[in-house]
Chains A and B, each alone.
Chain A
């Protein structure tokens, strides 16, 4: 799509000359670089609870962020009003960071050719409200039909379409339309008067409603949530202490996100505050581990045609056969570290300063048969579903919370266990990976990553992996 066909040119009558003049204003007190990030975000969500469609919300937000970089300093301001006076005012406020004569903005823009990772058959605003309602009603029915012990179901469907325009003082211009849709289902089940148990499932990606009609149906997510709740009805207390842990494929890839991903974001490494700082070329994982962050996978939740600094996303090799290869770079850190951006500059919205972030982070498949992996464990824990996770990038300690796990006894899965946290240390944990399955899976598309108060959608993936030593935080000591 050309700039003149973009929403900002059509609806808000913004011209390339306007963009140049705003950028000149931003660099009026000096600085090496400035950019503008225009955003128009339309969202919609529908929720069912107790079989009643209780909530339906739509909204639009609009704004522009102006950034000026002078050395290591960043000035930032934004406006939710796209009138020229307000944008110029924001540009002048951002310019306060620099102290000097004006810098020159390159005249004329080169339009970046982005990927085309999420073509839309129908845009979200072309779909009827009734179609959305039908999805949550189907989820509600399917969860209740799964098992008579299911007694509460909540399901939500949410979608959004973000129009983004990035213009830089280097003369780069990019435009993108970013769809996102997600379903989630929560189920409570109970045996007689017993204790209720909870199950949760969800997914989606950079897709539209059609995805839930044709690919992953509401019934798929509803049955999965109900299945998890029913499994938990028979769960015993989780074990405590160090043991062998086998991670199932898919969402357990959150291990990589927490154990290595955050620690490889360039801002922490530039500042020397990450447990991975200065360790490029060192062995930080077993030779079985190759880890990639890839923003270019079609329709994935973490994918982007261009990052939020207007750079095309790419496939970035983080760990190759256990050796640390690279960091995730945005414009600021790559400038200061004298290297190139890896297309990893992301921000939550026009109100936020970009920083290096992950997109879709996964481990390449190995050669082991997943069943052989479980058979090889005399005593341990097999974890297939996780909640969230967190990492302290400086010490490298990370935690992730298993919500569905099974005891492994003599190479066989025996009892399901109750939820427990797992804890490890980033540069150490993956050294204990002793088997990697041939069954790489990406997650269903539900991840949200938080960093310094900014949330962005991400994906993860992993094959079945055996970790010889990890601390499991159950109660059965």
Chain B
């Protein structure tokens, strides 16, 4: 066992000795680096590390949790005592408890979550990456004279988990990201956009030139927007906005919302809830991705779960608690910071790509909206009501034409899922939730 694994297992042991009937301990440590460059000059540099431990104890069916940034023996002792005190005031919850022993486990093999070179990257090199990305954006077009800056961020971390049913495990992870936010101006119109590239290892980042150029193109195409007329029309979500919509779908298949009847998908297992074009998977086992991990935050081995298959709801996403509430098995989706009862979080939650490239999907629309940005969106998971601010490009006769902004798009997720007529081939993972381009047959666009 590593030193931190011993610390976690030791805290669990202390809890049992002090009267807990079960306990689980999470320790996380990490180092972060961030360089910001603006108008070709370094604006800020930040570098530091921190760690923390959390424990959750059960005394019979009552739970209590605490956390600390003090990992000394006294700090751990205080943390354990605080959790036990709290377990005296919570209620008996018949469904509370740790996972069954047979569900505990960890994926074997290299999941490619950690690249040691991230910790050793040269500061000047990282600054240069950000500088080049911003320079590429500034050089792209005379209408780009200003910028919110570019940044290079990296982090490495270790997560450790131990429980009183014999689980001890840990894993390292790393990531680095390059992003730039250029500002385009013309005739009194000012618009910004961004592009970013993120990877577990620096070798897999897009080049600074690509990131800068792409960000510039995105900002430029938003200049001099019009406000569309209020109407019902087809809406195409590009991957970046489709991903936000998929995040709303995640909330609706989250077991915590299901057992409370706080989701419009509660009670719909086995039913057709979406169009045939939609297949949604949660898979925390794919090497190198951002939602990948060997085990979830209560020590259950990661896995692949088909959530929606050709429009039929096949599974909710569950941790041990929500599974027990629903009389189902955990799907290995337990998620938490370092303390408290586990919630439910995504592995790699994605829409399976279709066959058609986005261009072909756009070509099939005579009048509609191509959404490149959502702002302040609100999806009501209980009812499915959906309404969000949007910006993008108007589609006329199969082509992207002028930019539009200051509009909203609205519908109801129940209907929107059934009206996903097309799913693009352009799936890319830039986070734990990922989607290709999707076309929704009709939504209400509100403008002037």
B448 at the interface (CB under 8 A from A): yes
Q: Is the CB of A133 within 8 A of B389?
A: no
Could you write out 17 A-B pairs with CB less than 8 Å apart? Answer: A56-B63, A61-B68, A73-B45, A77-B47, A78-B48, A129-B85, A197-B383, A198-B262, A240-B444, A351-B48, A351-B50, A391-B375, A397-B375, A418-B380, A419-B387, A422-B408, A471-B448
Binary A-proximity of B66-89 (CB < 8 A = 1, otherwise 0): 111110000000010011011111
A395 at the interface (CB under 8 A from B): yes
Contacts of B45 in A (CB 8 A): 73-76, 96-97
Q: How far apart are the CA atoms of A107 and B64 in the complex, in Å?
A: 48
Binary B-proximity of A381-414 (CB < 8 A = 1, otherwise 0): 0000001111110110111110000000000000
Contacts of B87 in A (CB 8 A): 56
The answer, among A56, A80, A275, A391, for a CB contact under 8 Å with B86, is: A56
Do most interface residues of chain A lie in helix, strand or loop, or is the interface mixed? strand
Q: Is the CB of B389 within 8 A of A56?
A: no
Q: How far apart are the CA atoms of A129 and B385 in the complex, in Å?
A: 39
Contacts of A421 in B (CB 8 A): 376-378, 387-389, 408, 410
Q: How far apart are the CA atoms of A471 and B229 in the complex, in Å?
A: 11
The answer, among B41, B88, B232, B378, for a CB contact under 8 Å with A419, is: B378
Q: Which residues of B are at the interface with A, using a C-beta cutoff of 8 A? A: 38, 41-48, 50-52, 54, 63-70, 79, 82-83, 85-93, 96, 123, 146-148, 183, 190-192, 222, 225, 227, 230-232, 260-262, 264, 339-341, 373, 375-378, 380, 382-383, 385, 387-389, 391, 405-412, 444-448
Q: Is the CB of A97 within 8 A of B42?
A: yes
A353 at the interface (CB under 8 A from B): yes
Q: How far apart are the CA atoms of A238 and B192 in the complex, in Å?
A: 31
Shortest C-beta distance, A91 to chain B (Å), equals 12
Closest Cβ neighbor of B231 among chain A residues: A477
Q: Which of A47-55, A303-311, A440-448 lies at the interface with chain B?
A: A47-55
Contacts of A242 in B (CB 8 A): 230, 447-448
Shortest C-beta distance, A419 to chain B (Å), equals 5
A319 at the interface (CB under 8 A from B): no
Q: Is the CB of B67 within 8 A of A59?
A: yes
A195 at the interface (CB under 8 A from B): yes
A475 at the interface (CB under 8 A from B): yes
Shortest C-beta distance, A86 to chain B (Å), equals 10
The answer, among B43, B146, B376, for a CB contact under 8 Å with A73, is: B43
Q: Is the CB of B387 within 8 A of A474?
A: yes
Q: Is the CB of B82 within 8 A of A54?
A: no
The answer, among A61, A79, A474, for a CB contact under 8 Å with B410, is: A474
Shortest C-beta distance, A46 to chain B (Å), equals 8
Q: Is the CB of A57 within 8 A of B89?
A: no
A272 at the interface (CB under 8 A from B): yes
Closest Cβ neighbor of B145 among chain A residues: A272
A188 at the interface (CB under 8 A from B): yes
Contacts of B50 in A (CB 8 A): 63, 78-80, 351
A378 at the interface (CB under 8 A from B): no
Q: Is the CB of B260 within 8 A of A395?
A: no
The answer, among A52, A56, A74, A80, for a CB contact under 8 Å with B89, is: A56
Shortest C-beta distance, A105 to chain B (Å), equals 21
The answer, among B96, B339, B388, for a CB contact under 8 Å with A57, is: B339
Q: A399-B375, A419-B387, A423-B407 are in contact. List 18 more A-B contacts (CB 8 A).
A: A49-B260, A56-B86, A56-B87, A57-B340, A61-B69, A76-B48, A130-B89, A132-B89, A197-B383, A272-B183, A392-B375, A421-B378, A423-B406, A471-B408, A471-B447, A474-B387, A476-B444, A477-B232
Contacts of B408 in A (CB 8 A): 240, 399, 420-423, 471-473
Contacts of B47 in A (CB 8 A): 76-77, 93
Which chain A residues in 124-164 approach chain B with CB under 8 Å?
129-130, 132-133, 151-152, 154
Q: How far apart are the CA atoms of A407 and B50 in the complex, in Å?
A: 52
Closest Cβ neighbor of B64 among chain A residues: A56
Which chain A residues in 191-212 approach chain B with CB under 8 Å?
195-198
Shortest C-beta distance, B1 to chain A (Å), equals 23
Q: How far apart are the CA atoms of A131 and B146 in the complex, in Å?
A: 55
The answer, among B191, B340, B446, for a CB contact under 8 Å with A472, is: B446
Known contacts A197-B383, A472-B446, A475-B411; A271 and B46 CB within 8 A of each other: no
Shortest C-beta distance, B95 to chain A (Å), equals 9
Q: How many interface residues does A have (CB within 8 Å)?
A: 81
A241 at the interface (CB under 8 A from B): yes
Q: How far apart are the CA atoms of A434 and B103 in the complex, in Å?
A: 63
Closest Cβ neighbor of A154 among chain B residues: B260
A174 at the interface (CB under 8 A from B): no
Q: How far apart are the CA atoms of A43 and B64 in the complex, in Å?
A: 14
Sorted from nearest, which 10 A-B pairs have the closest CB atoms?
A473-B408, A399-B376, A399-B389, A390-B376, A59-B67, A56-B86, A401-B378, A240-B446, A394-B192, A74-B44
Known contacts A390-B375, A423-B407; A473 and B389 CB within 8 A of each other: yes
Contacts of A351 in B (CB 8 A): 48, 50
Contacts of A50 in B (CB 8 A): 260
The answer, among A129, A190, A399, for a CB contact under 8 Å with B388, is: A399
Q: Is the CB of A401 within 8 A of B387?
A: yes
Shortest C-beta distance, A47 to chain B (Å), equals 8
A15 at the interface (CB under 8 A from B): no
Shortest C-beta distance, B365 to chain A (Å), equals 19
Shortest C-beta distance, A133 to chain B (Å), equals 5
A72 at the interface (CB under 8 A from B): yes
Contacts of B41 in A (CB 8 A): 72-73
Contacts of A73 in B (CB 8 A): 41-45
Shortest C-beta distance, A451 to chain B (Å), equals 12
Q: How far apart are the CA atoms of A132 and B64 in the complex, in Å?
A: 14
Contacts of A467 in B (CB 8 A): none
Q: Is the CB of A55 within 8 A of B376?
A: no
Closest Cβ neighbor of A421 among chain B residues: B387
Q: Is the CB of B66 within 8 A of A475?
A: no
Contacts of A363 in B (CB 8 A): none
Shortest C-beta distance, B85 to chain A (Å), equals 7
Contacts of B405 in A (CB 8 A): 395, 397
Contacts of B232 in A (CB 8 A): 477
Contacts of B407 in A (CB 8 A): 423, 471, 473
A4 at the interface (CB under 8 A from B): no
Shortest C-beta distance, A204 to chain B (Å), equals 20
A90 at the interface (CB under 8 A from B): yes
Shortest C-beta distance, A317 to chain B (Å), equals 25
Closest Cβ neighbor of A62 among chain B residues: B69
Q: How far apart are the CA atoms of A275 and B446 in the complex, in Å?
A: 23
Known contacts A59-B339, A395-B190; A477 and B48 CB within 8 A of each other: no
Shortest C-beta distance, B154 to chain A (Å), equals 15
Shortest C-beta distance, B137 to chain A (Å), equals 13
Q: How far apart are the CA atoms of A242 and B447 in the complex, in Å?
A: 7
Q: Is the CB of A59 within 8 A of B54?
A: yes
Shortest C-beta distance, B201 to chain A (Å), equals 23
Contacts of B66 in A (CB 8 A): 57-59
Q: How far apart are the CA atoms of A346 and B4 in the complex, in Å?
A: 34
Q: Is the CB of B376 within 8 A of A53?
A: no
Shortest C-beta distance, B352 to chain A (Å), equals 29
Quick one: which of B88, B227, B410 has the most chain A CB within 10 A? B410
